[in-house]
Structure 1
Amino acid sequence: MEVKVLSSGELILASRANQKEGHFAPLATAMWIALRQFNGNPEDAAAKLSDVWEEEFHSVHSILLEQIGEWRDGGFIEVAH
């Protein structure tokens, strides 16, 4: 997996395994970074982001889970069960 963050804040993920490339808005970049900071734990990442963004935890958590689903469906991550 190759990960790039452009000066615009856009996240680019490129999977060598499935030869796909995805471009994501700066909001997704923040989510990606938070997930990496918290070892993939969406609850901890959402808690941090909700503090920084001054938003309700449940709203941020829901958006984060949707983004994780998009990355999973695109073949950019695998979700442990």
Structure 2
Amino acid sequence: MPVRPEHGVTTQVAEDGCLVLLTEARDTTFRCSPVAAAMWIALRQHDGHVGEASRMLAELWGTAPENTRSDMDIWVSELRDAGLVRDEP
């Protein structure tokens, strides 16, 4: 199931490589690490499919695919809990 940004959420990558998510509805800013920025970019490149994005990152980073997938699942869950992303059927 693809993951999409919630309506009104915009993103940018800061000069220091961190991911910044801005919420229009709550006028709130969330800041994530440069690793999260890479995960976000991979997620968007793979149309919201966590499995495909995590496989690509695991290959690029030379990490175990199951570990990268687990890390992405945890991170996406945190974004979902914060109301920043949603699952789409």
What TM-score does the superposition give when structure 2 sets the normalisation length? 0.85
Unaligned runs of 5+ in 1: none
Give percent identity, aligned residues only.
30
State how far apart, in whole Å, the 2-side matches of 1:73 and 1:66 are. Answer: 11
Q: Which structure ranks higher in relative contact order (CA pairs < 8 Å, sequence separation ≥ 6)?
A: 2
Pick the structure with more helix per residue.
1
Q: For residue 50 of structure 2, what is the aligned residue in structure 1?
A: 42
Give 1:16's match in structure 2, choosing from 15, 24, 27: 24
The number of residues matched between the two structures is 81
Pick the structure with more strand per residue.
2
State how far apart, in whole Å, the 2-side matches of 1:40 and 1:17 are. Answer: 22
In the TM superposition, residue 26 of structure 1 has moved relative to its aligned partner by: 0.4
The residue type paired with residue 12 of structure 2 is K
The RMSD of aligned alpha carbons is: 1.1
Secondary structure in 2 matching 1:51: helix
